[in-house]
Structure formats: C-alpha cells, structure tokens
Amino acid sequence: MTFRYRTRQHVALPLLDVNQKPWRDLNTLIDRIGERAVLRALNIHEKTLYRWVTGRGQIPGRQHVAIQVLLGEIPGTEGAWSGWFFKDGKLWSPENVSYTAGQLRAAHFDADRISTLSREVTALRVKLAIAEQALDRFAPAANERKRA
C-alpha cells in the first residue's frame, strides 16, 4: 500500500532507550500477567503496546505510574519504600512480612503502649531496689553474721 501524499522516503525513527525504568517495568508486567492483561489493565491498543515495547514510542508518565501500581510498587516514594509491595490486600516488606491495614493503623497505639510499659518497668525496678535495701538492713542473709 502506498500513500499518495507521501513525498519523502520513510526514515526510521531513532529508538528510545528501552533500558530505562519505564520499559523495564513494562516488560516485567508483561512477563507477570501477559500482553492481553496489560492491554486491558492500561486500556491501550495493541499498536501502542508494540511501540512502547520496541522503543518507538515513549511511555507517558501517568501510564508508568499505573504500571508501577500494577506491579505492586509504591510510586513517588523515591526509593524510600524499595522492596515493599502490595499483594492480596496487604503491604509486604522486603523481609517477606505482611501487614494488614488494621495492623498499620494500630502501630502508633502499640508504640504508645510500649512506651507506657517501659516507664512502668523502670518505676518497678526503682521500687524493687528500695525494697531490697530495706530487706538487707532488717534481715541479713543466712550466711552473714548479724552486726551488733
């Protein structure tokens, strides 16, 4: 098929660097869920996906964010949450420990409780030391001689 209005010969566009993060993320997503699922999830045409994969088209920023979310990453955190991801409604740590939303909401209550218990333990240690001193004065150990 030839185009009547084409006056110049077709020149191939330079390919974009497909080693950048958006392309790596896209290929990872394709490996995980397949091309058809990517097309449906991103609501894009097959030709668009082809252009992105081959580096003939740039992946828009909002689409890259969608790809990151589909991969379970937390976009916009600049590596502060590196290795963390969402899966099955839970937040997973790099150590493969999962947290539910309720556990995360309760974390500050747990910290307050730990702080309160720590203060109580310190106060009880002081009381124990005072009681031990009083006991030593009134009842020496069995192997000690009573002072006159």
| Residue 44 shares a structural domain with residue 83 | yes
> Do 67 and 112 belong together in one domain?
no
Domain of 119 in residue numbering reads as 101-140
* DSSP secondary structure string for all residues of 77-101: STTTTTT-EEETTEEE-TTS-EE-H
In a domain, 13, yes or no: no
Looking at the structure, do residues 93 and 63 belong to the same domain, yes or no? yes
The pLDDT tens digits along the chain (148 residues) read: 333 434 445 444 445 555 588 888 899 999 988 999 999 999 999 999 999 988 888 898 889 889 988 887 777 777 778 778 778 888 888 899 999 999 999 988 999 999 999 999 999 999 999 998 888 777 766 666 655 5
Task: Enter the pTM of the model.
Answer: 0.50
Q: Count up the domains in the chain and report the number.
A: 2
Co-location of 116 and 93 in the same domain:
no
Residue 88 belongs to a domain: yes
Amino acid in position 107: A
Query: Does residue 16 fall inside a structural domain?
Result: no
Q: Are 48 and 115 within one domain? A: no
Is residue 62 domain-shared with residue 122, that is, in the same domain? no
Whether residues 86 and 59 fall in one domain: yes
Q: Do 93 and 115 fall within a single domain?
A: no
Structure tokens at 41: 């999830």
Instruction: Give the whole-angstrom CA distance, residue 71 versus residue 49.
Output: 17
- 21-33 helix and 46-54 helix, angle to the nearest 10 degrees: 130
Domain identity same for 95 and 107: no
- The pLDDT of residue 140 is 65
Is 2 contained in some domain? Answer: no
Q: Please tell me whether residues 32 and 92 are part of one structural domain.
A: yes
Residues 48 and 85 in one domain: yes
Asked if residue 3 is part of any domain, the answer here is no
Domain assignment present for residue 123? The answer is yes
Tell me, yes or no, whether 27 and 93 share the same domain: yes
